[in-house]
Amino acid sequence: MEWNKIAKLTTTLGVTLVLAACGNEATNGDTNEAEGETTNSLSGSVQVDGSSTVFPIMEAVAEEFSMEYPEAQATIGVSGTGGGMEKFIAGETDISNASRPMKEEEATMLEEAGIESTEFRIALDGLSVVVHPSNDWVDYLTVEELKSIWLEESDVETWADVRSEWPEEKIELFSPGTDSGTYDYFDEVILDGEQIDREASLSEDDNILVQGVMGSENGLAYFGYAYYAENEGNVKIVPIENGEGEVVTPSSETVQDGSYEPLSRPLFFYVNNESIKDDTVYEFTKYTLEMAGDMATEVGYVALEDSIYTESLETLENLRE
C-alpha cells in the first residue's frame, strides 16, 4: 500500500532525527557540566511567574544565570500579572513579575496566606501612541484628547472632532486586549476605568496592532515601547503633552528621566522573603538586580537609573540577614 510506505518512511525518518538530536544533547550536557565545575555550584531551583511584559527581561537574566550556574534550575512562566500573583499567593512561586504594582486585595490575600514579600523595580516601559506613517496632521496629542478619542462615552468619531483643522475621517482604533497589563495601565491613566470605545479592535498580540496601524491610514494604536522601536519605519510616533505642558516624544532618555508621563510605567518583580533564605533564589535575585539594566535595554525596554538598582541590592542584603 502506497500510504503505508509513506507512513513507514516518515516514521523512520522522524525517529532517526529525534535520536540524532538526543545524541547531540548528551555531548552538550557534558561540556556544560565541565564548565560548571570551574565556575560555581548552585543546584537549587527558582520558580518565576507573572507578567508577559516583564518576561523578555527575566528570560534574558535567566539565560545568563543558567550559563553561570549550569546546575541551578531557573524556570519562568507567563501567567500574566494577575495569574502570577495568584500563584505567588498560593506559595507556588518564589518570584512574581508584574507590569503594575500589587493591588490592595492581592496584598491582603498575601498577608492572610502568611507570606511576606518585597517589591523591586526591574525596568521602565513607555507606552507609545502611534499613527500611520502617511498621517501628517497629528503633531501631538494631549491626555484629554487621547481620553476623548478612546472613550465609548465621548462623541469623537473623526479626526475633525479632535481638532477642527484635522481631516473629517473616521479614526480606527487598535488597543491591547483587556487581559494585558498594558491595557490595565492605559485604563488607569487615560480611561480612568471607563468603557473603552466598543469599535476599537483589541488584540492580545501587539504585533497585530502594529500591522493594524500599518494597514490603516486613519489608524491609531498604543502599545509597549519595544514594539515601536522595532517598527520605527512602519508607524509614526505621536508625542504626548505631559502634566507640565511639555510635548514629549518617548525615548530612552525621556522615559528614564520621567518627563514622558503619564504614559511611562515602572515594571516590577516581587520576591517571597522566605525564599530569599534559599541560596539559589537569593543569588538569582541578586543577579537579576545586577543585570536588569543591561538586559532591559537589550530586549527593548528602558533601564532604571543605576542608583535604584544599587538601593535594591542593599534592600536584598538586609533581607538576607
Name the residues that contact other proteins, by CB under 8 A.
1, 3-4, 6-8, 10-11, 13-15, 17-18, 20-21, 24-25, 28-29, 47, 49, 52, 55-56, 58-60, 62-63, 66, 73-79, 87, 90, 92, 204-207, 224, 226-227, 229-231, 295, 298-300
Q: How far is the CB of 5 from other proteins (least distance, A)?
A: 10
Query: Which grid cell sits at 33?
Result: 557540566
DSSP letters spanning 272-294: ETTGGGSHHHHHHHHHHHHHHHH
3-class state of residue 49 by DSSP: strand
CB-nearer residue toward other proteins: 279 or 317: 279
Query: Which grid cell sits at 62?
Result: 535567566
CB-nearer residue toward other proteins: 159 or 222: 222
Q: How far is the CB of 159 from other proteins (least distance, A)?
A: 27
Q: How far is the CB of 110 from other proteins (least distance, A)?
A: 17
3-class state of residue 43 by DSSP: coil
CB-nearer residue toward other proteins: 81 or 231: 231
Q: How far is the CB of 165 from other proteins (least distance, A)?
A: 34
Nearest C-alpha neighbor of 308 from the set 123, 127, 126: 123
CB-nearer residue toward other proteins: 148 or 234: 234
CB-nearer residue toward other proteins: 96 or 242: 96
Q: How far is the CB of 102 from other proteins (least distance, A)?
A: 19
Q: How far is the CB of 317 from other proteins (least distance, A)?
A: 27
Q: How far apart are CA 284 and CA 260, in angstroms?
A: 31
Strands 172-176, 201-203: parallel, antiparallel or unpaired by DSSP?
parallel
Q: How far apart are CA 175 and CA 209, in angstroms?
A: 7
CB-nearer residue toward other proteins: 157 or 204: 204
Q: How far is the CB of 22 from other proteins (least distance, A)?
A: 9
CB-nearer residue toward other proteins: 57 or 146: 57
Q: Within 10 A of 81 (CB to CB), how many other CB atoms are there? A: 27
Cα separations in angstroms, 82 against 1, 140, 241, 299 = 54, 33, 31, 23
- Is-cis flag, bond preceding 266, omega within 30? no
